[in-house]
Amino acid sequence: MPNPIRNDITTVDETSFPYIFEQNATIVLKDGSGLVRCNIYRPKGVGKSPVLVTYGPYGKDIPYADFHPQSFSEVNPEHHSTHSAWETPDPGFWTQHGYAVVRADERGTGQSRGKLDTMSRETSEAFSDVVEWAAEQPWSTGKVGLLGISYYAGSQWRVGARQPKGLACMIPWEGMSDYYRDRCRHGGILSNSFIKFWWDRQVVSNQYGLPARAARNWGPDTIEGDLPEEELVANRQDQTIDNVDHCFRDDLYYASKEYTMTDIQVPLLSVANWGGILLHLRGNVEGYTQAGSELKYLRFITGRHDLPFYYKEEVEVQRSFLDAFLKGEDRVGWANGTAPKVDMVLRKGDVGFNHAEAERQFPRRQESEWPIARTQYTKYYLTSKQELVTGPPQERPSKITYRALGTLDTPQAVQFTTPGFGEETEITGHIVAHLHVSMSPVAGSPTPRDLDLFLTLRHISPDGKEVFYTGTAGDPVPLCKGWLRVSMRQVNKDHERHREWLPQRDYYSTDVLPVIPGEVYPVDIEVWPTNVVVEKGGKIVLEVASGDTQGSGVFQHNSPIDRSPEKLNGLNHINFGHGDNYITLPIIPSKPVLT
């Protein structure tokens, strides 16, 4: 039975902090599906302020220091306050700079009533209500900006497309924009490991009505009371179940989360991390590319997922952008379009990984567009000798074989390597591999019905050592990865978003094509965008595997249901003599010198 609604839970503290702190303000959702509770942090002595809004499931009242103590200890101290929270703007800092901050518990979490259904259409509708509510408050100037990392970035795309009144600009900082392709099903393959880790640790642990949160030091208990387990289960849509049960974008579960990217019209600063090779990188790049905003900008960073958002220099970029559209104070040229459209960090040299100061030495360069107009898309051909060469080889029919169902612990892969580059070479942009693949059964096992491809691009320094970069969690990662379930190989070349350097797959149930033993299938595999400056003598390696390999970390694809032996167990083959196998790399020539 639902808890009785309490209307007496809002408190206001005007003396204990450098800002006014209003806790548990109530927002009634327009569709009647629940109540959202939010905290409001306002500058003192200011009549009206522009507003920064976040809306998510991680707990508006869980201190950053409790949520992730090690991370908080490494965050720029300027962003340490009593109310610092994971992946959100620090109210202590932003109120000092004239902003009000509204931090809302997502419906069904924390103190917000209703059904817990993360990343759903209803979640976006509720977030839109919160934006409009913030714009209408007497302490608000009526202008709202969105700023946050990860979940607090990915949700921005969907809300931006809804065009809520008052929304003036948005900064999705490392936030996926395509629920299916970026997060849940890479190339049609379920990315289950992270979903479970994320759901168990960060979402369901904060469900509205869950008992003993305070005892676990996970924020306060639900003020309106605990709920029994059967009611908690009924009040949530479990991502660890839903993503296993649904496979295609036209399944209602996925289809209900879709939106039109061109409906995003407000000024946009999309911040992508080159190291986010299994979750957010693709979404930030494609979100920028597809957004309908007249004023839109793309910035690339490196480093861990949690820390760069708080770096002094990155905060100044955030503040200058927000000041331009929320205060009318444009110091850079954001509002008139003269600011650089694309601001890139170039990964040159081996500075190690998870080393913030070393990575800050990477040079930056500005470009006028994405993809870079002068890109030379260059084919590197695979040979049966496991080489990558720039000319198409003459090959007799043959194949290279490796086992199916490789795992991170027992990888099954084959690698193809370029000769040492004859000169320093920059690779920046989108990558596509074209392979002729097949599979066959092994004795004593069922006949396989599908084939999963896991591709990785690796960088070898001139001294023969692999260069690793900082991944999402500070782990060592290669340049980039790509995936494809071969039964989902259908490409929609008539779609307006199909590009030669980024094939358009719809991933509909009607797109499923047969995969049978012995048949050779030519397939195009999208590999996520990357950047590297290969020094003279350095090499590039293309790795083709049947499962996760080094660099996957917590983002593994190891569901025993989605990747069952009954479906996939067998031998996988790369076939030669049936057509060229190649990977197309985006080579960037130097900018022409103007005279």
DSSP letters spanning 322-354:
HIIIIIS--SSSTTTT-S-SEEEE--BS---SS
Residue 10 phi, psi (nearest 5): -75, 135
Cβ neighbour number for residue 422 with a 10 Å cutoff:
8
CA within 13 Å, CB half, 389: 11
Candidates 266, 263, 268, 284; CA nearest to 181 is: 284
Question: DSSP 3-state assignment of 536?
Answer: coil
CB 544 within 8 Å of CB 414: yes
CB 394 within 8 Å of CB 510: no
Q: Is 591 exposed, middle or buried (0-12, 13-18, 19+ CB in 10 A)?
A: exposed
Helix (H) or strand (E) holding 310: none
Residue 534 phi, psi (nearest 5): -85, 125
Distance of CA 173 to the CA centre of its chain: 9
Residue 566 phi, psi (nearest 5): -60, -30
Residue 548 Cα distances to 189, 197, 404, 541, angstroms: 11, 17, 11, 16
- Catalogue the E-assigned strands of 466-511: 466-467, 469-470, 476-477, 480-485
Give 10-residue mean pLDDT values along the chain (595 residues): 90 98 97 94 97 98 98 97 98 98 98 96 97 98 98 98 98 98 98 98 98 97 97 98 98 97 98 98 98 98 97 98 98 97 98 93 97 98 98 97 98 98 98 98 95 98 98 97 98 97 98 98 98 98 98 98 97 98 97 59
Residue type, 482: G
**Per-residue pLDDT, 592:** 67
Question: DSSP 3-state assignment of 94?
Answer: helix
Helix axes of 151-162 and 121-136: crossing angle, nearest 10 degrees: 80
Full set of structural domains in the chain with CATH? 9-365 (3.40.50.1820), 374-586 (2.60.120.260)
Residue positions counted in the chain: 595
Cβ neighbour number for residue 444 with a 10 Å cutoff:
6
Q: Is 356 exposed, middle or buried (0-12, 13-18, 19+ CB in 10 A)?
A: middle
Residue type, 340: P
Any idea what the Cα angle at residue 294 is, between residues 291 and 295, rounded to 5°? 95
Question: How far apart are the C-alpha atoms of 202 and 64, rounded to whole Å?
Answer: 12
Query: Which residue in this structure is represented by tokens 């900006």?
Result: 145
Q: List helix spans (H) across 50-90.
A: 64-67, 69-74
**Per-residue pLDDT, 595:** 46
Q: List helix spans (H) across 378-493.
A: none
Return the sign of the alpha-carbon dihedral for residues 265, 266, 272, 277: negative
Candidates 471, 497, 451, 504; CA nearest to 181 is: 504
Question: How far apart are the C-alpha atoms of 574 and 210, rounded to whole Å?
Answer: 51
Model pTM score: 0.97
Question: DSSP 3-state assignment of 157?
Answer: helix
Query: Which residue in this structure is represented by tokens 């103590």?
Result: 69
Taking only the tens place, the pLDDT of each residue in 481-528 is 999 999 999 999 999 999 999 999 999 999 999 999 999 999 999 999
